[in-house]
Structure 1
């Protein structure tokens, strides 16, 4: 089967040199992904499993033999078959793969085997956070695809789960094999100016969907699964005219559901859930109640699948005592080049954007896990701001209703204990507080990033307690925490040097994304 060509950028839209560079990027990437010995072996195994027919006993025997030839895969399939959902009413343990196939279903075992192949090949990547994030999206999408296939009248609808599994293949492979490119794409998306497809096109010279289709072509995967990777038109979708078009819709829907479940553990009734219904509801004949049921089923299935694979939670960053930089070793593995290292005279790292992005991914994954407490989210965001932006002191200030004041609750940096103890001010502004910088920021819900605190106009807005407590603060940020009309507090962080380099839009977007995670956790 001939590989699907990766769509080039239009030559009249970008300079020749840039177009040549992007062609080089996508060609090198495809060669790396498909030419690597381990990836070639993965492709051969994937093709073998995909091509196993489910129409007769021979297919079942072939799948059972394949699973049994891999001890680890055998253990995982048996572990899945013995989870609460699938365990027989008598409670008898499932000890044979044939019984597991009978209990789980041929296509379930087939898709699970494919998912485990991806996990085995990629989960040990040096970039564990990013790869794990994309792996879980792929696994979750396959479960959504399987659920959609159960309610379909198309013959061979079960292939939808495989199409959905591979829908996220592009991001998964780029995260594993070209992490620097993956981070660049993520930064463009985080800026809010580019959609994922556009960002991938700019960095790779092709969309993620085109990359997925090309790789599957190299792996000799059937056309119907390859075509399921192609993007859909914008807006509400019409009912599919054939199985191939339906599979495209299901693959796209499945990945969107997976992303939503990762973003919010309980997405029912949210704006994102309503947007999903607006786009896919008519085409896939699914209403709000059915979508909520799908969320519940897939969330439970995902928990069982990860358990069966014995996937340990991604290691969280070490909590700090406030005097160290626990992110340093972790961030050193993210591919930062020597040219990006170092700091501005203010102390702000030159690779602040990359450090902020790593923090956003960390906090997003933490909240998506559903196994976090509010203080853990706040601590992770505060630590990210402190280390990524090179601040001398950073703290989160929350309202203390009993004392009728705002006061610092947790801090990082020099003399943090003494500074935190003094960082407090009345909850109700006094007569002179109308021009108090902190109250103005909260009243207007305005994120302030002050590059030169010595400016006379800024000095006039600083309250006396701040000038006394932090007389050497030359640049600082104030990020109000406002939910509805409630002024809950703020993030504050400063340096002892002015910061004329400022905060560019992409870094601003990431800082706002970090604050947004805290606001979401604070919301009732």
Structure 2
């Protein structure tokens, strides 16, 4: 029950970004089309035709040398489906949709780009391993390989704050599965398995995503083969992208993997090593390895980014600017809240939104036990001599360094003292609408147990810029969306 509750909460937060539900619907539509026995393939044809790049990819594959025996010059998706088969095209669509989604939603953070490229590289390894065999099985193996890492990608892309906590534990040599479980209560693999279920991926793919055990005699041969490819490809991509590893050590690690998986893959270990090492030197795979090398060369920027709150908030401002003004308000609010929460390392962050009733109500929040507290966090716009009403009458952010000072305690509303009694210091950031009235208020705090912090002039300037950027989304939000917040 605890695991289910955590996963539901994760899905809710990911859905707030706006693009995640579209990916889910696209994958479910593809799987439904694949499972349809209608011989005109109309469902899957429509899925492919709805995406120009995907259409070209399918047609190029159908016209490749491998399928010239079928007549060549294939110009329709329907004919391509007949040549390639429903399963092969369906799996190709799923793989490309997943990759395309993360390409378009990739944050500006270097670590997120590295994780995406590591996943893409593992897909390149899987495709290399299967390119001479059955296309259907090969594309299925690529999907399994991508899906094996989907849990980690979802956390990196959608749960910035939690990923920062997980990454800090990993940097102290804690196993990443243990670190994820400690922070989220579930592992990356469990999140990936849940994604596969919610996207209604076939049982074979769900099974193929699992951990490879060379001594397993209970699973079907096809499952063991898929797991061998999935695990080998993932492990090789990890070795190839490990920073500061000498070439001799890299090749030695890959040789160890080749010996372990060679029999299950029915491939000579020396051939596996040659193929895998060659990927590090090739410029194919849409430049995946080249980009990884470039990102790795700038790896110190990751550390600077993690330690520089002002830079992280400024990056969040750029992400907001990249969104169209008519984007879902909830997506903009989530992005701004997560940026501030992660950038300043707040213990708790709460976004208050003004309703037509004249109430500021907590819309979303981050931090321990925050969801249970949200219903009790609200205040009326009618003036009260407290710091919250001072903030909504202000045009810039306010930093309260000592919330325990008796003079400040007198300025804290009762509902706040009841909910956040352990607050050490906090920030209130007003968001102004087009008529210069306050439409939202972003709150973030550090608790008594946290190290004492101050807000620098540069950080406050970056926060005010973020608030100004966030304000434009309110002028385009429909009234019903405002009332639902």
In the superposition, the TM-score normalised over structure 1's length comes to 0.47
Specify whether residues 25 and 47 from structure 1 end up closer, same or farther in structure 2 by C-alpha distance, changes over 3 A only: closer
Specify whether residues 119 and 109 from structure 1 end up closer, same or farther in structure 2 by C-alpha distance, changes over 3 A only: same
- Please state if 1:130 is matched with 2:136: no
8 Å CA contact 1:80–1:304 kept in 2: the answer is: no
Q: Could you say what secondary structure the match of 1:115 adopts?
A: helix
8 Å CA contact 1:238–1:283 kept in 2: the answer is: no
Query: How much is the aligned-residue C-alpha RMSD, in angstroms?
Result: 5.0
What is the CA–CA distance in structure 2 between the aligned matches of 1:146 and 1:60, rounded to whole Å? 25
Q: Could you tell me which of 115, 122, 138 is aligned with 1:141? A: 122
Q: Could you say what secondary structure the match of 2:186 adopts?
A: coil
Which whole-Å deviations, capped at 9, do the CAs of 1:19-44 have from their partners, x for residues lacking one? Answer: xxxx8654421333467653222112
Q: Following TM superposition, by how much is the alpha carbon of 1:166 offset from its aligned partner in structure 2, in angstroms?
A: 0.8
What is the CA–CA distance in structure 2 between the aligned matches of 1:111 and 1:131, rounded to whole Å? 25
What is the CA–CA distance in structure 2 between the aligned matches of 1:214 and 1:134, rounded to whole Å? 20
Residue in structure 2 matched with residue 338 of structure 1 by the alignment: 344
- Stretches of structure 1 that go unaligned for 5 or more consecutive residues are 9-22, 321-325, 342-500, 502-524
In the superposition, the TM-score normalised over structure 2's length comes to 0.50
Specify whether residues 140 and 198 from structure 1 end up closer, same or farther in structure 2 by C-alpha distance, changes over 3 A only: same
What is the CA–CA distance in structure 2 between the aligned matches of 1:314 and 1:80, rounded to whole Å? 31
Which whole-Å deviations, capped at 9, do the CAs of 1:90-145 have from their partners, x for residues lacking one? Answer: xx998765687789887665444333322443333434433322322333333333
What is the CA–CA distance in structure 2 between the aligned matches of 1:128 and 1:79, rounded to whole Å? 33
What is the CA–CA distance in structure 1 between the aligned matches of 2:77 and 2:97, rounded to whole Å? 17
Which whole-Å deviations, capped at 9, do the CAs of 1:21-75 have from their partners, x for residues lacking one? Answer: xx86544213334676532221121133345549999486654442222234335
Residue in structure 1 matched with residue 239 of structure 2 by the alignment: 260
Q: Could you tell me which of 177, 183, 199 is aligned with 2:164? A: 183
Residue in structure 1 matched with residue 193 of structure 2 by the alignment: 213
What is the CA–CA distance in structure 2 between the aligned matches of 1:166 and 1:269, rounded to whole Å? 25
What is the CA–CA distance in structure 2 between the aligned matches of 1:301 and 1:278, rounded to whole Å? 23
Which whole-Å deviations, capped at 9, do the CAs of 1:262-307 have from their partners, x for residues lacking one? Answer: 3379789723213313432333333322212432675688824459
Q: Could you say what secondary structure the match of 2:241 adopts?
A: helix
- Please state if 1:40 is matched with 2:21: yes
Residue in structure 2 matched with residue 349 of structure 1 by the alignment: none
Residue in structure 2 matched with residue 204 of structure 1 by the alignment: 184
What is the CA–CA distance in structure 2 between the aligned matches of 1:153 and 1:219, rounded to whole Å? 25
Paired residues in the alignment total: 309
**For structure 1, which segment, 93-102 or 244-253, has the greater mean C-alpha deviation from structure 2 after superposition?**
93-102
Q: Could you tell me which of 55, 60, 69 is aligned with 1:74? A: 55
Q: Following TM superposition, by how much is the alpha carbon of 1:201 offset from its aligned partner in structure 2, in angstroms?
A: 0.9
Q: Following TM superposition, by how much is the alpha carbon of 1:221 offset from its aligned partner in structure 2, in angstroms?
A: 1.6
Which whole-Å deviations, capped at 9, do the CAs of 1:482-516 have from their partners, x for residues lacking one? Answer: xxxxxxxxxxxxxxxxxxx9xxxxxxxxxxxxxxx
Residue in structure 1 matched with residue 93 of structure 2 by the alignment: 113
- Please state if 1:159 is matched with 2:140: yes
What is the CA–CA distance in structure 2 between the aligned matches of 1:216 and 1:257, rounded to whole Å? 23
- Please state if 1:195 is matched with 2:175: yes
What is the CA–CA distance in structure 1 between the aligned matches of 2:156 and 2:250, rounded to whole Å? 31
Q: Could you say what secondary structure the match of 1:270 adopts?
A: helix
Specify whether residues 54 and 285 from structure 1 end up closer, same or farther in structure 2 by C-alpha distance, changes over 3 A only: farther
**For structure 1, which segment, 279-288 or 298-307, has the greater mean C-alpha deviation from structure 2 after superposition?**
298-307
- Please state if 1:242 is matched with 2:248: no
Which structure features the higher share of helix residues? 2
8 Å CA contact 1:86–1:104 kept in 2: the answer is: no
Q: Could you tell me which of 265, 268, 277 is aligned with 1:287? A: 268
